[in-house]
Amino acid sequence: MSTTYLTPVLTGRTLLRANPVSKLFAAVVITVALMSSIDWVSAAVVLVCELALMPLLGISVWGLLRRIWPLLIAAAIGGYGTALLAEKTGDVLLAIGPIVFTEDSVADGIAVGLRGLALALPGIFILLTTDPTDLADALAQKLHLPHRFVLGGLASLRLVGLLVEQWETLGLARQARGVGSDGSLVARTRNLLGQSFGLIVQAIRRATRLATAMEARGFGGGTRTWARSSTYSALDAVIAVVGLVVAVGAVTTAVLAGTWNFILS
């Protein structure tokens, strides 16, 4: 019954086998390339490459859409807003009263929308194909982040899932005490705040108990060994190279097409 963030439904067997660090690296270089410029060509190149890599995810286009539809809407709204408000240069395409779209403003809008999607997808790819435990192992063993921080974060992921259930139970328990969801807006707001506070109290208590259990098992010392070894394979080199190729390809194409628009210049 409980939603669990510690054991998400993962797909994409190939990417699942790769080390999370290589996936993070690829995502970072692509992100840097995208962030460097606001133009529709570089964004489109990245997006096309990402979609071409879809088969690696092991889910259908429909499956992806079901997970990211809010992003599509956000990208569309962002694009529309930009087209509406950007500088009105170039030929006028549409003018209804104060609403004016020009060639350039529409190009800007499309760039912003595409860029938003292209930026979001690498994160989605990583989320769908990375086991949180593997990620923690990689962050601690390969990137040498402090293990207390990494494992503490991993353990707290589990509590996030339990919170959803706890919220519902708390609501019913409080209602039984006479704190209902009925009443005025003020009363409801106060109740919501009270329930949130109750949830925080429960979360802290659970976290304290979990911390006690972890401490009793010797967690928190200066050194530890790792039962699972986080390793690199040839696959990780391929992923890193693909990331670089996509990033460099996008920048090169945009420069050649003359749309490159370096944000610092």
Contacts with other proteins, residue ranges (CB under 8 A): 1-2, 4, 6-7, 131-133, 151, 154-155, 158, 162, 169-170, 172-180, 182-183, 194, 198, 201-202, 205-206, 209-210, 212-221, 223-229
- Looking at the Cβ atoms of 134 and 236, the one nearer to other proteins is 134
CB-CB contact of 203 with 163 (8 Å): yes
> Least Å distance between CB 28 and other proteins?
26
- In the complex, the smallest distance separating the C-beta of residue 161 from other proteins, rounded to whole angstroms, is 8
Please report how close the Cβ of residue 11 comes to other proteins at its closest, in angstroms. 16
Nearer to other proteins, 14 or 175 (CB): 175
Grouping H, G, I as helix, E, B as strand and the rest as coil, residue 93 is strand
User: What CA–CA distance (Å, rounded) separates 114 from 41?
Assistant: 9
Q: Which is nearer to other proteins, 10 or 244 (CB)?
A: 10
Cβ 8 to other proteins, closest distance in Å?
9
Find the shortest distance in angstroms from Cβ 212 to other proteins: 5
- What is the enclosing helix (H) or strand (E) of 239? helix 234-257
**In angstroms, rounded to a whole number, what is the distance separating the alpha carbons of residues 259 and 256?**
8
Three-state DSSP class for 77? Answer: helix
Residue 84 or 163 having the CB closest to other proteins: 163
- Beta carbon nearer to other proteins, 8 or 63: 8
Q: Are strands 99-102 and 92-96 parallel, antiparallel or unpaired?
A: antiparallel
Name the residue nearer to other proteins (CB basis): 55 or 183.
Answer: 183
C-beta separation of 115 from 76 below 8 A: no
Per the structure block, which two tokens stand in for 66?
A: 């079901």
CB 82 within 8 A of CB 112: yes
Question: Cβ(29)–Cβ(42) under 8 Å?
Answer: no
Question: At closest approach, how far in Å is the CB of 54 from other proteins?
Answer: 27
